[in-house]
Amino acid sequence: MLRKLLLVTFLINSLFCAGQKKLYRSYNYFAFLAGERTGQQLTTIHGLEKGSWFAGAGTGLDRYELLSLPVFLSGSKYLFPSSNNLLFTINAGMSFPLEKKSEMLRTAVKANYPARPFGEAGFVYRFQEESMKKGQGILLGVYYSYKGMRIKQTLSGNCPNPPCADTYEYINYELHRWAFKLGLAL
């Protein structure tokens, strides 16, 4: 899954930049996540900027319910190209859990945490100091952020005559948060 995502990212980047003057850009954020519970997120997005558009790929750490590694594609558009200050951004990809929950079903013998969808959409404002180069700046953003999570538990059972088919139970999490992001465009 991770490999496929990286391949798609590479292809999109290649298409987006074909025959155009491209400018490398990175966006690096710390976010405070607030929903039914709270959490933190660190992300870094790297890609290419052309005019008022930006496309890239990002990853990071997302500590909300469970620590996970989001890997995603990112697309942005400066809403007012004259000033290039207000940015609308969409991130879409997968979230790979990095830790496990302590609770298990009594009859479970094994728990897997498969990758699940990850997505964000929001507005970012860029404050550019005089000392900074064009395109660089301090970023302040508000996003709606979604993180999926699933615990696939393999249950033990009565198997008097092996081999027996496995039985599973799934705990599905659809986590909705606001992400308040502070970052740097480099």
Partner 1 sequence: MVFNNVLSAYENYVMKPITRLLLPLLPVFLLAGCLKDKVTRTYTIFTPVYKEKSVVLADVVKPLAGRSVQNAGKIYVYGNYLFVNEINEGVHIIDNSNPEAPVSKSFINIPGNVDIAVKGNILYADIYSDMIALDISNPLQAKVTKLTSNLFPERNYIGSNGWYFTPDTSRYIVGWTRKDTTVAYESPEICTRCGIVFDNFATFANASSSGATVGIAGSMARFAIVNNYMYAVGLYSLKVIDVATPSTPSYKKDISIGSGIETIFPFKDKLFIGSNRAMYIYDISVAETPKYTGSFPHVRSCDPVVTDGVHAYVTLRAGNFCGDITESRLEILDVANLAAPKLVKTYPMKNPYGLAKDGNLLWICDGTAGLKLYDVSNPADISLKKSISNIEPFDVIPMNGKLIVSAKEGILQYDYSNLSDIRLLSRIQKK
What the block records as the tokens of 177 is 């948060």
Among 3, 21, 134, 160, indicate the residue that binds partner 1 (CB under 8 A): 160
Among 108, 132, 184, 186, indicate the residue that binds partner 1 (CB under 8 A): 108
Q: To the nearest whole angstrom, how small is the minimum distance from the Cβ of residue 17 to partner 1? A: 33
Q: If binding means CB under 8 A, how many residues of this protein chain bind partner 1?
A: 43
Among residues 11 and 142, whose Cβ is nearest to partner 1?
A: 142
- Pairing assessment for the beta strands 53-64 and 108-112 based on DSSP bridges: unpaired
The closest of 45, 93, 38 to 70, measured between CA atoms, is 93
Among residues 14 and 156, whose Cβ is nearest to partner 1?
A: 156
If one asks whether residue 34 binds partner 1 (CB under 8 A), the answer comes out as yes
If one asks whether residue 121 binds partner 1 (CB under 8 A), the answer comes out as no
The closest of 126, 133, 122 to 180, measured between CA atoms, is 122
Cβ atoms < 10 Å from Cβ of 104: 13
Q: To the nearest whole angstrom, how small is the minimum distance from the Cβ of residue 117 to partner 1? A: 13
End-to-end CA distance of the chain: 29
CA 28 vs CA 19, 59, 123, 156, 161: distances in Å: 27, 10, 15, 45, 56
Is residue 28 within 8 Å of residue 58, measured between CB atoms? no
If one asks whether residue 157 binds partner 1 (CB under 8 A), the answer comes out as yes
The pattern of x and - marking residues 58 through 97 that bind partner 1 according to CB under 8 A reads -------x--------------------------------
* Interface residues toward partner 1, by CB under 8 A: 34-37, 65, 101, 103-110, 140, 142, 153-178, 180
